[in-house]
Copies of this chain bind each other. A is one copy, B any other.
């Protein structure tokens, strides 16, 4: 039986990134796409609990099913696995995100959230991102062979339970290769722009400057991207800090 690949994203079903991803992965197996019906950038692992969610059919072709969903990226993956799919997918792929999900950005990313949800269900899961806010169709062309290669590798090698892959591509047309990295530490500075409201008071726009806090480190995702490598970072769903756990056992708590 052909591999079954579940696809989602956080930029919404209309985004160039997910459309390109569908084209790239079409030869690898049967594709089942459930993606937000609008942009959900920055959705992290959020879920919709106070209201119900709905879906609309976009495509029903042989080997390609596409639904647009009113929920978050995480809702999309949950709904596909619990209600829509008739068999368990071999792979969950999220993206291709428009913009970086390297470093601490993974904590805000709906794309990583969707892939994490796959991993929480014990399915090998990958989040792909292109580290460029301004994304054009042509920008995805050099990514294709690597996206396909990584997905094929994971379909063969599998990933141990409890881990997902966070894959970020530098915004270049040629890559120096793939580098397995750790999450680098970074910070967002000057995060908001405050603007006066016409009727008084202020409103705040989120934005800011992204600063690499470890510019000397050579093993981070940010460093790999800086040097023109594709950054592959394995992420655990168990966030426990075992080192501090041990230390805290001697605290007077």
Interface residues of A (CB under 8 A from B): 39, 41-50, 52-55, 72, 74-75, 78-79, 81-83, 104, 106-108, 110, 113, 116, 120-121, 149-150, 153, 157, 159-160, 162-163, 178, 180-183, 185, 187-188, 190-192, 194-195, 197, 201-208, 232-242, 244-245, 248-249, 251-253
Contacts and interface: CB of A to CB of B under 8 A. Distances in A.
B53 A206 contact: yes
Nearest to A195: B52
Contacts of A43: 44, 46
A234 B240 contact: yes
Nearest to A50: B39
Contact of A53 (B153, B204, B249, B251): B204
Name which of A55, A162, A240 has the most chain B CB atoms within 10 A of its CB. A240
Name which of A49, A208, A234, A241 has the most chain B CB atoms within 10 A of its CB. A241
A43 B43 CA distance: 8
- For the residues of A in contact with B, the DSSP-based class is mixed
A49 B40 CA distance: 9
Given A78-B192, A192-B78, A244-B163, A46 B49 contact: no
A253 B159 contact: no
5 contacts: A42-B48, A52-B206, A54-B203, A55-B204, A153-B253
A149 B252 CA distance: 10
